């Protein structure tokens, strides 16, 4: 059985339990959902329909791409439905011969006005659009990486770690001088090593800009890793899966305030890492870091971390908020990324990717704070 | 009066006419909407609230970024609302002292389950979420570029054209040999010339992959512009605004089928260009191209073009579909991009950016089919 069919089997079971006859997924420019890639291997724009009797129909924008990548029971080109989502879902209903009155579920991200159009077009059916339904079930299933995914992560982490070393070398030897040098080095070297590219736009922020959580623009032709604190946040994408690491470069002489930012961030990182274990609430880890920073009169203006996978940000979130109920489990791969940002002294963030297994925790990546 | 305030003034008028007291815009990871940048200059994640009494409140994720870029009446950090959208909109209601029973409008892209949460949290108000409301009004206003925007487009088109010439030179002299060489040359040279970067991921597809409408992955370490047809689709982003051009490189000796793809695409492009004028329905131009191709027993598997601006794809669309009612008007900047794709012979697309003014049409960019 293919890995994709194995994943879909779990959803067919869920559908049967919930009495849902058909579900729709959508991966389009406006609403990206790599769950379709997770369930079929198809990496581009498409709609996917699952029928409870264990059949999968893919409606791709590009049929050539589907014939190369998609592991499904049937492909019908989107053009056959005049490239209209409503016609596509009606086509799926006909194709599967869905009985009147059946429950079907559409993505929880469907905009309200479009939801009304689906309901109108499917008056003979019970159309669900909800949080806590099958789309969140897929999100939850995706948090637990299977053996194939963990192997992919070992590969892409190794490439990421090679690049971290090469980046340190290039920056120390001043071959890489600007934000652009660093970012384009990553683009080129990642592809040379078989990656699809970067998992998100590389953020390379020299000392004048490192105070921003997300530097804007992402990188420029300005100097990188000159005196002060510089942040480099990047990820490599390999067969769909992305790493996500952040290095901070501190070139001295640093002020005491800058040294303090580095030390506090490193300590927060070690505190978080020491708390990682099966069954731990991610809220608890995040709260511990927030408390640690606050006793030093500092505030971290973002979450402590997040899951990674086919998306750079996916479940579980590691955040200190009452509505966060995520608990760490074996198979999860997630970031820890404490950071502090000061509009005068600059910013500092340290981010690595952590795999939790039955036998414990493993830090997959080797990002670090590098003193120059 | 700042350009941003001038743009907001049009919306305050619209709100007054429609009896809408407050509107919300959202630009976040899940739902990108550069309309906030268009109305305020703020280029990052944020919510924006406009009050009919001509006040604008920005709720940014990164306050440092807002203090540098945002032209609004008031900024309140998202963290003040515990980084929750519902609390932010309730905060805006309080801040503006919106009277009970007022109409307010939230983005038409709001997912149905989230829409329900807004309605529940705002029971004392009349919450609109619709197509054809203010969010589409902004979309329509953005199709007509003002003098500042047209000047930006002249600048970024000139940079784009310089790069097109350099790319041709680099490919002819075989300095640029792989898809990656070409794509990274664009990344580096665009930033060196003051661009924010590329407007979307560059698609560089050598002869083995050019049959795909959107090559996957976008570019690799494989050869580019070797024997056969290669497609290069890229755009440069300058102060938020992106160009969008596609060049096809044909390295001979080409087969008759390949020559035919090039000739038909060039002719389709000239036909489309000749039809551009004030008042012309974009459906008509698209239909003419479709008819031209079909008489040659070919089919174009995508739309003929689209507006460009703060998004790589924005209104108006140029598509041959009954529900397309867009009409060309002075101030519009849009692409024409006929293309044909053959899984054996490869693909060909020619795309340029067109500005329509009161005095006629202007082809801003100089993309072309290049025979090697």
pLDDT tens digits along B13-36: 999 999 999 999 999 988 999 999
pLDDT for B25 equals 98
**Burial call B9-22: b when 16+ CB within 10 Å, e when fewer:** eebbebbeeeebbb
Count helices and strands in chain B by DSSP H and E runs? 10, 20
Cα torsion through B84, B89, B95, B98, rounded to 10: -160
pLDDT averaged over every residue in chain A: 96
Average pLDDT for B213-222: 89
pLDDT for A214 equals 84
- CATH for B144-371, options being 3.40.50.300, 3.40.1350.10, 3.90.230.10, 2.40.50.100: 3.90.230.10
Burial of B194 (0-12, 13-18, 19+ CB in 10 A): middle
Nearest by CB to A29, which of B45, B219, B313? Answer: B313
For the cut 90, the answer to whether the pLDDT of residue A1 exceeds it is: no
For the cut 90, the answer to whether the pLDDT of residue B170 exceeds it is: yes
- What are the structure tokens assigned to A346, written together? 């600059």
Distance from CA of A250 to the nearest CA of B (A): 21
pLDDT for B63 equals 87
Q: Provide the strand spans (E) within A308-372.
A: 314-318, 333-336, 339-342, 346-349, 352-357, 360-363, 369-371
pLDDT for A83 equals 87
Distance from CA of B127 to the nearest CA of A (A): 12
- What are the structure tokens assigned to A349, written together? 């963030």
CA–CA dist A280, A286 (Å, integer):
11
Nearest by CB to A129, which of B113, B180, B192? Answer: B113
For the cut 90, the answer to whether the pLDDT of residue A278 exceeds it is: yes
Per-residue pLDDT tens over the stretch A19-39: 999 999 999 988 999 999 999
B3-141 belongs to which homologous superfamily?
Answer: Creatinase/prolidase N-terminal domain (3.40.350.10)
CA–CA dist B192, B202 (Å, integer):
17
pTM for the model stands at 0.93
Distance from CA of A221 to the nearest CA of B (A): 6
* Phi and psi, residue B123, nearest 5°: -60, -25
pLDDT for A82 equals 87
CB contacts of B341 in chain A (<8 Å) are: 64
Q: Cβ distance A266 to A349 under 8 Å?
A: no
CB contacts of B192 in chain A (<8 Å) are: 180, 221
Nearest by CB to A44, which of B69, B184, B214? Answer: B214
For the cut 90, the answer to whether the pLDDT of residue A64 exceeds it is: no
For the cut 90, the answer to whether the pLDDT of residue B55 exceeds it is: yes
Q: Secondary structure of chain A: what % helix, strand, coil (to 5)?
A: 35, 25, 40
Same fold, A3-141 and A144-371: no
Tell me the three state secondary structure of residue A121: helix
pLDDT averaged over every residue in chain B: 96
For the cut 90, the answer to whether the pLDDT of residue A54 exceeds it is: yes
pLDDT for B209 equals 93
Average pLDDT for B254-278: 98
For the cut 90, the answer to whether the pLDDT of residue A359 exceeds it is: yes
Per-residue pLDDT tens over the stretch A72-119: 999 999 989 988 999 999 999 999 999 999 999 999 999 999 999 999
Average the pLDDT over each of A191-195, A307-311, B138-142 and give the range with the smallest value.
A191-195
pLDDT for A213 equals 83
Per-residue pLDDT tens over the stretch A300-350: 989 999 999 999 999 999 999 999 999 999 999 999 999 999 989 999 999
Contact B196 A214 (CB under 8 A): no
Average pLDDT for A293-297: 96
Query: Among all residues of chain B, which has the CA nearest to that of A341?
Result: B64
Per-residue pLDDT tens over the stretch B177-210: 999 999 999 999 999 899 999 999 999 999 999 9
For chain A, domain boundaries: 3-141, 144-371
């Amino acid at each position: 059985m293919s890995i994709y069919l194995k994943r879909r089997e779990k959803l067919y079971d869920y559908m049967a339990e919930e009495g849902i006859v058909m579900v729709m997924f959508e991966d389009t420019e406006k609403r990206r959902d790599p769950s379709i890639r997770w369930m079929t291997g198809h990496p581009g724009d498409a709609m996917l329909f699952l029928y409870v009797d264990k059949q999968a129909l893919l409606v791709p924008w590009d049929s050539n791409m589907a014939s190369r990548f998609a592991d499904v029971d049937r492909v019908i080109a989107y053009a056959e439905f005049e490239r209209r989502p409503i016609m596509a879902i009606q086509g799926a209903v006909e194709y599967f011969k869905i009985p009147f009155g059946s429950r079907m579920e559409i993505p929880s991200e469907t905009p309200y006005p479009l939801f009304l159009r689906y309901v109108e077009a499917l008056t003979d059916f019970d159309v669900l659009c909800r949080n806590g339904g099958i789309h969140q079930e897929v999100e939850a299933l995706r948090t637990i990486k299977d053996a194939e995914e963990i192997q992919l992560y070992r590969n892409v982490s190794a490439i990421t770690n090679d690049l971290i070393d090469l980046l340190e070398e290039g920056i120390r030897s001043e071959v890489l001088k600007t934000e652009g040098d660093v970012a384009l080095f990553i683009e080129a070297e990642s592809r040379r090593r078989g990656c699809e590219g970067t998992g998100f736009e590389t953020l390379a922020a020299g000392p004048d800009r490192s105070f921003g959580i997300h530097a804007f623009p992402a990188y420029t032709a300005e100097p990188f890793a000159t005196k002060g604190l510089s942040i480099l946040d990047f990820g490599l994408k390999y067969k769909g899966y992305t790493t996500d690491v952040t290095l901070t470069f501190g070139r001295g002489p640093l002020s005491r305030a800058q040294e303090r930012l580095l030390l506090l961030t490193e300590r927060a990182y070690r505190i978080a890492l020491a708390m990682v274990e099966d069954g731990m609430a991610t809220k608890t880890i995040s709260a511990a870091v927030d408390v640690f920073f606050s006793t030093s009169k500092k505030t971290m203006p973002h979450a402590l971390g997040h899951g990674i996978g086919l998306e750079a940000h996916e479940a579980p979130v590691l955040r200190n908020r009452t509505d966060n109920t995520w608990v760490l489990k074996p198979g999860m791969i997630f970031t820890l990324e404490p950071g502090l940002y000061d509009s005068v002294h600059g910013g500092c963030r340290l981010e690595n990717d952590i795999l939790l297994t039955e036998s414990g925790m493993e830090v997959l990546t080797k990002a670090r704070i590098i003193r120059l």
